[in-house]
Amino acid sequence: MGHTKIQQGFEFAKEAYAAYGVDVEDAISRADAIPVSMHCWQGDDVIGFDGSDSLSGGIQTTGNYPGRARRPEELRADIDKAISLIPGKTKLNLHACYAEKNGKEIDRDAYTIAEFSDWLDWAKSGKIGLDFNPTYFSHPMMDGDFSLSSYNESKRRFWIEHGKRCLEIAGAFAEGTGQPCTVNFWMPDGYKDTCADTVKHREIMTQSLDEIFATAYDRKNVLAAVESKLFGLGVESHTVASHEYALGYAISRNLRYTLDAGHFHPTEVISAKISAVLQFTDQILLHVSRGVRWDSDHVITLDDELQRIMDEIVWNSYENRVFIGLDYFDASINRIAAWAVGMRNARKAILNACLAPVERIRAAEYGEDFTSRLALLEDRKTLPFGLVWAYYCESRGIAQDGAWLDEVKVYERTVLSKR
C-alpha cells in the first residue's frame, strides 16, 4: 500500500471513528506510549547462556526450527531485528540464565551486574527498558522441581541468594536505563503425584521469599512480583505457588501478582481477573500467553481474550498499574516471526482498545440500555481499525502487515540459515 492510499484510508477511518466520538490521533498517541515487554527467551527456546543445554522445571519448548540463537551476540541481533518490526514502546524481559560469564567460574547465587553489563549497554544504546526474572529452573541446584521450597537446606539457600542477587541486578538495570525494572518470581516447585503434606513446602517457600525481600533493594524502581501457576509438565498434582498462594503472598507483602494467561483452568481468563486483583494490589504483571488446552505457551494471536485483556487495561486507565509482558516459546516456526506476530498482535489489541467508543458503550450500560451496549460492542469490531494500524505503522517507520514477513525471510536467508 502506497503512502497516499494509507493517508486516504486514515482520513476515512478518522471520520468513521469520529462518528462514535473517538479521536483517532489521541488513541494512537496513547497506545504508542504503553510499554510492552518482549521476552528474550522466545529467541533461543528458553535455554540461556549460563550452562544449561536443555529446559526443565515443568516447562517445555517443542520444535527444532533452524536458526536458534546460540550466543548473546546472536540473540541480541535477533532481538534487534524483531524490535525493528514492532511499533510503540518496547522493553526487553531478560531471565537470569542469560548471564554472560565470559569464562568466569560464577554461579547464579553470585551473579552481579557484571554478568549482565553487555545487556545493559545494549539497552542503554537503544534506550530500551529492561525487566528481569530469577531463573528457578534448568540448573543442577534444583532439587527435582523444587527450589525456594526445597527440604534440602543448602539448595534452598543457594536459591535464596539467587533471588537477592536478581533484585540487586534489577536495581542496576533500573538505574542504568532510567526506567523501572519489574522482577518476576516464578518457581516451578511442586509434585508430579498426590502429596501427603501440602503445607510444609508452602511454609518454607514463604520463609524463603520473605528472606529475599528483606534484602535492601530499590523498592521504588525494582518492581517485584510473584507468579502463580496451576500445574506444570511433570508437576501435575501439587503446585506450591498456586493462585491462592501467590495472590495472598503478593497482597500481604505489598508486592505485585503476576497473572499468566496460560496458568489457569482452560475456561478461566485472566482478563476477568485484572480489575478484581487490582482492588487489593497497587500493580500487577501480565504474562500474555496462549494456552492451547493447557499451558502450551503458543504465540499470541489477535483473539478475543487478547482484546479483552487490553480493553481492561485501557478502558480502566490501568496503564501505570499493569505491566504487560509476553510469555510464550515456540520452536517450531521462525523465532523472529514468532516475536513479531505476538508483539504486533499485542500492539494491535492495545491500539484497538484505545480506539473503542468506550464512553458510549459505558453510557449505555449505566443507563441500563443493554441493547445499545451489545450493539456498540459488536459494531466496534468492524470499525476500520486496520486502516489506523496501517497509518500508525507507516508514521513510525515500521513495516506494514504483508511486508514485515519479507524482512524476516531475508534475515533468515542471510543470517539464520548460516547458523
Per CB under 5 A, residues contacting Zn ion are 260, 287, 327
Angstrom CA distances, 238 to 146, 234, 344, 399, stand at 11, 10, 36, 46
- Please state whether beta strands 238-239 and 190-191 pair in parallel, antiparallel, or not at all (unpaired): antiparallel
Q: Does 156 bind ligand RNT (CB under 6 A)?
A: no
Q: Which residues contact 191 (CB under 8 A, 6 or more apart)?
A: 145, 235, 237, 238
- Reported for 243-247, long-range contacts at CB under 8 A and 24+ positions apart, including other chains, are 245/202, 245/205, 247/277
Contact residue for ligand RNT among 22, 31, 34, 46 (CB under 6 A)? 46
Size of the site for ligand RNT (CB under 6 A): 12
Please tell me the total number of residues recorded for the chain in this structure. Answer: 419
Strand positions, DSSP E, 244-288: 256-260, 284-288
Nearer to ligand RNT, 289 or 307 (CB): 289
CB of 136 to ligand RNT, least distance (A): 9
Nearer to ligand RNT, 98 or 217 (CB): 98
Nearer to ligand RNT, 143 or 175 (CB): 143
Q: Does 28 bind ligand RNT (CB under 6 A)?
A: no
Query: Could you tell me how far CA 327 lies from the centroid of its own chain?
Result: 5
Q: Does 228 bind ligand RNT (CB under 6 A)?
A: no
Q: Does 97 bind ligand RNT (CB under 6 A)?
A: no
CB of 59 to ligand RNT, least distance (A): 5
| Residue 145 interacting partner from ligand RNT, Zn ion, none (CB closer than 5 to 8 Å by kind) | none
Contact residue for ligand RNT among 131, 145, 260, 330 (CB under 6 A)? 260
b/e 140-177 (16+ beta carbons within 10 angstroms → b): ebbbbbbbbbbeeeebbebbbbbbbbbbbbbbbbbebb
Look up 186 and say whether it is catalytic. yes
Nearer to ligand RNT, 227 or 312 (CB): 227
Q: Does 139 bind ligand RNT (CB under 6 A)?
A: no
Q: Which amino acid is at 229?
A: K
CB of 21 to Zn ion, least distance (A): 37
* The C-alpha cell that represents 128 in the structure block: 530500551
Angstrom CA distances, 331 to 44, 57, 87, 312, stand at 8, 17, 24, 30
Position of minimal CB gap to ligand RNT: 186
Query: Which x/- pattern over 295-334 shows residues binding ligand RNT (rule: CB under 6 A)?
Result: x-------------------------------x-------
Three-state SS at 70: coil
Work out the number of other CB atoms within 10 angstroms of the CB of residue 115. 22
Contact residue for ligand RNT among 229, 238, 256, 380 (CB under 6 A)? 229
Look up 294 and say whether it is catalytic. no
Contact residue for ligand RNT among 59, 224, 322, 387 (CB under 6 A)? 59
CB of 61 to ligand RNT, least distance (A): 10
For 199, phi then psi, to 5°, come to -95, -50
Look up 297 and say whether it is catalytic. yes
CB of 193 to ligand RNT, least distance (A): 19
Work out the number of other CB atoms within 10 angstroms of the CB of residue 265. 9
C-alpha to C-alpha distance for 130 and 184, rounded to whole angstroms: 12
Nearer to Zn ion, 284 or 383 (CB): 284
Look up 311 and say whether it is catalytic. no
Contact residue for ligand RNT among 119, 159, 186, 249 (CB under 6 A)? 186
Greatest CA separation for the chain: 68
Q: Does 133 bind ligand RNT (CB under 6 A)?
A: yes
**Identified catalytic residue from 297, 312, 330, 412:** 297
Angle between helices 404-414 and 335-355 (to 10 degrees): 160
**Identified catalytic residue from 50, 260, 311, 330:** 260
**Identified catalytic residue from 44, 45, 78, 295:** 295
* The C-alpha cell that represents 123 in the structure block: 539497552
Q: Is 301 exposed, middle or buried (0-12, 13-18, 19+ CB in 10 A)?
A: exposed
Looking at the annotation, which residues are catalytic? 186, 227, 229, 260, 263, 287, 295, 297, 327
Site residues for ligand RNT per CB under 6 A: 41, 46, 59, 95, 133, 186, 227, 229, 260, 287, 295, 327
